[in-house]
Structure 1
Amino acid sequence: MTSGSSSSSDQMQARILIVEDDFLIALELENRLIDAGFEVTGIAITATEAISMAERERPTFAIMDIRLADRSDGVEAAIELFTAFGIRSIFASAHADAKTQERAALALPIGWLQKPYSEEALTRLINDYLQP
């Protein structure tokens, strides 16, 4: 991001990977992000798929659920995204207990959203992260 750029140009530069195994939640999230002016690089439903997509697409960050398809773990996926590619995550999950947050600290999370969360809370967290 260039300093002094407007939030709309920051939004256009933000490329977001959605990691969510609930199809309806993922589609709603994708639509919310696109409506807010962000680019969605893809939707992954497993940790393996998330890592593969991140390697190929190099998103700015990921929005990560904790419990994924095939018994995958979003915390482990987020840690791998961060250590392998420097990609940080926003955790959006109903599973945000202290033990889970402690495990996720290695991924240097951008923040946490407790499901169900509002579009305003999501957009505010993203914009706060993108601000210089």
Structure 2
Amino acid sequence: MSLGQQLAPHLPFLRRYGRALTGSQTHGDAYVRATLEAIVAAPDEFPRDVDPRLALYRMFQGIWNSTNLDQGGDEGGGDDAESIARARLARMTPMSRQALLLTAMEGFTPEDTAYLIETDADEVDELVAEALREIENQTRARVLIIEDEPIIAMDIETIVRDLGHEVTGVAVTRDEAVALAMEDRPGLVLADIQLADDSSGIDAVKDILGEFRVPVIFITAFPERLLTGERPEPTFLITKPFQRSTVKAAIAQALFFDETTVPAA
């Protein structure tokens, strides 16, 4: 099997990580492209002594660390949301954010994460704890949940409330989601893709974003369909079935890049 064939199944999830890390589909996907270009340009430098997925993320980390655009490079620097994010980075180091996303969202072990960010497993545990402390002190939001499966909706609602956020409503159809959003504007939307009446959570979100700006996290059992890099796609994505830690990390990152988020008291 060629190297390209080995890496292809992992690219959607690397896009998910890149988008979550940068808060942008455009910027995250650009890092993924740069990673692939680096592999094509110097295939002998691709790590062959570890699992291909781990090696792919290691190459991505090398690109990320070498450009360090997340802290004010020339990637559009004047944008308000990015300015807010850079200000928050002064209180949460980039490495702690990476450790949290790599473990909670991407599912790497502390040992694998240590390899990716070039530290040791004990330090990874400390970095994740640091990131979680910062999150708990940093953001509170009012959340609209769009989910037609009652058990999953209740699970998400419990997680959201336990994190200290307020739930403005739970919608099961596109029309209901839009109506709830217009009635009580949320500061964050968590949306399933397929809804009860065969309507689309994506269409519901498009309708909502047509009225006002709000960060969105999509929830889907088929993430590969929304992580192609070929069209406008979600920046933040949770894969079903999900872990509590995954939802927490995704919410934290979505709010991290949102300039309207109110810091916790």
Gaps (5+ residues) in structure 1?
none
SS at match of 2:223: coil
**Aligned in 2, Cα 1:110/1:17: closer, same or farther, shift over 3 Å?**
farther
Cα drift, residue 100 of structure 1: 7.7
Gaps (5+ residues) in structure 2?
1-83, 92-133, 258-265
Q: TM-score, structure 1 length as denominator?
A: 0.82
Q: Tell me which protein shows more strand as a share of its residues.
A: 1
Q: Which of residues 56, 64, 68 in structure 1 aligns to 2:183?
A: 56
Q: Tell me which protein shows more helix as a share of its residues.
A: 2
CA–CA distance in 2 between the matches of 1:126 and 1:41?
15
Question: Number of paired residues?
Answer: 128
SS at match of 1:71: coil
Q: TM-score, structure 2 length as denominator?
A: 0.43
Asked if the contact 1:78/1:88 (under 8 Å) is kept, the reply is no
Q: Which of residues 19, 23, 28 in structure 1 aligns to 2:146?
A: 19
Name the aligned partner's letter for residue 114 of structure 1: T
Which is higher, the Rg of structure 1 or of structure 2? 2
Cα drift, residue 96 of structure 1: 2.5
2:200 paired with 1:73: yes
**Residue in 2 aligned with 1:130?**
255
> What are the superposed Cα offsets for residues 30-66 of structure 1, whole Å, 9 maximum, x if unpaired?
0111111111111000010000000111101210000
Cα drift, residue 98 of structure 1: 3.0
Larger RCO: 1 or 2 (CA < 8 Å, sep 6+): 1
> What are the superposed Cα offsets for residues 61-81 of structure 1, whole Å, 9 maximum, x if unpaired?
210000001111011111111
Using the TM superposition, name which of 82-91 and 36-45 deviates more.
82-91
Identity %: 30
Cα drift, residue 91 of structure 1: 0.4
